Structure 1
Amino acid sequence: MQKSRFWVVGGEYTSCDCESLVQGTERVVGPFESRAEAESTWRLLSEDHRPQAQVRFTIAQEPPAILSA
């Protein structure tokens, strides 16, 4: 059985288009063994930065193949 891991990634973007991160603001948190754990952290980070319109975080799932290589 292959397991996936989850990461919370994001930071401050140069505009509300969320295409380019401001250098030095990148954040990668994880890995998490379950999506629920990642969602909990994502909610905390998102709430902490709510007043900052250009700060965004998302959950990334690591492909299972990486873990079995």
Structure 2
Amino acid sequence: MTSRYWVVGADYADCNCDKPLPGSHSLHGPFTNERRAQTEWKRLTFRDRVDAMRRYSIAIEGRTATA
């Protein structure tokens, strides 16, 4: 199975980023390769440099977890 990459983000109540604010989730993708997902992650992460309580990460779909 081919992996698909998603950039997932949310706003948080504080800088610890423990609990996302309800309704603040965002999903970007799918991207067919990791490089494109990383480019989007960088664009979103550095777009609003003043927003320290917004965090994005890359999720991979189609990859089996290993123990």
Q: Give the aligned partner of residue 60 of structure 1.
A: 59
TM-score, normalization by structure 2: 0.84
Identify, as 1 or 2, the structure richer in helix. 1
Residues 10, 26 of structure 1: 8 Å contact kept: yes
What is the RMSD of the two structures over their aligned residues, measured on CA atoms? 1.3
Matched residues, number:
64
Indicate the SS of the match to 2:43.
Answer: helix
TM-score, normalization by structure 1: 0.82
Distance 1:6 1:22, change over 3 A: same
Equivalent residue letter for 1:47: F
Q: Which consecutive aligned stretches of 4+ in structure 1 deviate over 6 angstroms post-superposition?
A: none
For the residues of structure 2 that align with 1:8 and 1:52, how far apart are their CA atoms? Answer: 17
Q: Which runs of 5+ in 2 are unaligned?
A: none
